[in-house]
């Protein structure tokens, strides 16, 4: 709103306030209809039902959620839902989520997601879609798990990987960098270690608080932002949807959080592109499928340099493409601007690497990203043929 609101702004603001009071909100939070096709321990795989008068065609897309985050990251609200976008295009769209984590799950480590949850979801989606290869899209830790699962099993039916906001050099994360030297002073059972072991993990309230802390400035200025945008229905609806997403955070299993804390936060284990897990080494250099990497221009959780550190590590990939898009950690995936940036880049990428492209992407020149950097590398004859 202007400092001195215009008459139409006053009318819009009054209408928004009345709608909020009378109906409880402005956002259309209806989830996209879906059907459960597979389930196991902390694994639920869903198929989103095709839109009316739309026939599913082409290779399937699998959306991989990060730990602790609800699946609404991909289905935030109508018109700001990546799921809705794919379904309307006629892409066979699937999602894997993990349900509620409880104290009984405290002994589960990253192996459960890297060796069982993500690979099983990929295979089930491929089978449900008629044996087609799967385009895997992972946000944040979901992207890291997708990369490690694909690197660990070369036989997975993966057509391409897209990772959104997945940091590989934690030393470049502003929230972590200042405290890493202090963390490394306390070896073994420090305060953090004793706390998560006693609790069996990280409970939901702490997960939610940590996510909010990462956007502390926005949290503090939120009342001012609401007041300044009382006439902007879409802006207010987005805030409501993000609030619901944050309220839906779930807990981290104890052993998994311990691995993430000691190896990723304290040890910065991924900076070299490999992870020691059990009696083996998983290296992203073993990934041969094409990989699309997104970084958010204003992402405080996974800033551009921390995400870009992944690109030179993917030496075995048929092609690596790096995109900088507008938005913060969640906004780059499902913010209002993602419709014309991140989603368009995904459309182009999936169409290009599909076995029989059926959805025409928008012209590349219409993609208004803040910055785009590409590195192309073709290895096998099959990869070269796909790139033509």
pLDDT tens, 289-317?
999 999 999 998 899 999 999 999 999 99
Distance CA 314, CA 163 (A): 12
Distance CA 331, CA 174 (A): 18
Q: How confident is the model at residue 349, as a pLDDT?
A: 97
Q: Within the chain, which residues score under 50 in pLDDT? A: 16, 177-183, 185-186, 191-209, 211-214, 216-222, 365-366, 368-373, 378-388
pLDDT tens, 217-235?
444 344 555 555 565 677 7
Query: Length of the chain in residues, anyone?
Result: 388
Q: DSSP assignment of 103-155, as one string?
A: GGGTT--HHIIIIIIHHHHHHHHHHHTTS--EEEEEETHHHHHHHHHHHH-TT
- Quote the pTM value: 0.79
Q: Which residues contact 373 (CB under 8 A, 6 or more apart)?
A: 308, 322, 323, 324
* Helix (H) / strand (E) containing 83: helix 82-89
The H helix count followed by the E strand count for the chain is: 15, 13
Contact 383, 350 (CB under 8 A): no
Q: DSSP assignment of 1-63, as one string?
A: --SS--HHHHHHHHHHHHHHHHHS-SS--PPPPEEEEEEETTEEEEEEPPPTT----SS-EEE
Contact 360, 287 (CB under 8 A): no
Q: How confident is the model at residue 238, as a pLDDT?
A: 87
Name the residue among 104, 41, 65 with its Cα closest to residue 254. Answer: 104
What structural domains and CATH numbers belong to the chain? 31-188+272-386 (3.40.50.1820)
Burial degree of 251 (CB within 10 A; 0-12, 13-18, 19+): buried
């Amino acid at each position: 709103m202007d400092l001195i609101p215009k008459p139409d702004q006053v009318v819009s603001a009054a209408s928004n306030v009345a709608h909020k009071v009378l109906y409880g909100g402005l956002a259309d939070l209806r989830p996209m209809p879906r059907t459960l096709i597979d389930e196991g321990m902390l694994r639920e795989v869903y198929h989103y039902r095709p839109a009316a008068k739309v026939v599913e065609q082409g290779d399937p897309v699998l959306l991989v959620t990060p730990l602790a985050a609800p699946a609404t990251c991909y289905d935030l609200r109508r018109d700001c839902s990546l799921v809705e976008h794919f379904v309307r295009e006629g892409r066979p769209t699937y999602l894997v989520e993990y349900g509620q984590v409880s104290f009984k799950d405290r002994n589960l480590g990253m192996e459960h997601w890297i060796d069982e949850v993500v690979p099983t979801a990929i295979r089930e989606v491929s089978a449900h879609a008629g044996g087609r290869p799967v385009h895997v899209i992972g946000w944040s830790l979901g992207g890291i798990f997708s990369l490690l699962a694909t690197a660990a099993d070369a036989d997975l039916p993966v057509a391409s990987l897209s990772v959104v906001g997945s940091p590989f050099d934690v030393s470049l994360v502003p929230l972590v960098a200042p405290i890493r030297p202090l963390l490394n002073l306390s070896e073994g059972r420090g305060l953090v270690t004793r706390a998560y072991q006693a609790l069996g993990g990280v409970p939901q309230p702490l997960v939610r608080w940590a996510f909010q802390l990462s956007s502390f400035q926005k949290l503090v200025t939120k009342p001012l932002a609401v007041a300044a945008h009382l006439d902007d229905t879409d802006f207010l609806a987005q805030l409501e949807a993000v609030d619901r997403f944050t309220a839906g955070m779930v807990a981290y299993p104890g052993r998994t959080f311990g691995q993430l804390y000691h190896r990723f936060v304290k040890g910065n284990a991924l900076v070299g592109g490999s992870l020691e897990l059990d009696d083996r080494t998983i290296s992203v250099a073993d990934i041969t499928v094409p990989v699309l990497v997104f970084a958010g221009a204003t992402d405080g959780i996974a800033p551009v340099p921390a995400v870009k550190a992944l690109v030179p590590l993917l030496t075995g990939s048929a092609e690596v493409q790096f995109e900088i898009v507008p938005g913060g950690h969640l906004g780059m995936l499902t913010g209002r601007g993602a419709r014309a940036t991140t989603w368009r880049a995904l459309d182009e990428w999936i169409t290009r690497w599909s076995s029989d492209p059926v959805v025409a992407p928008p012209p590349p020149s219409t993609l208004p990203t803040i910055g785009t950097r590409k590195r192309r590398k073709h290895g096998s004859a099959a990869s070269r043929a796909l790139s033509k």
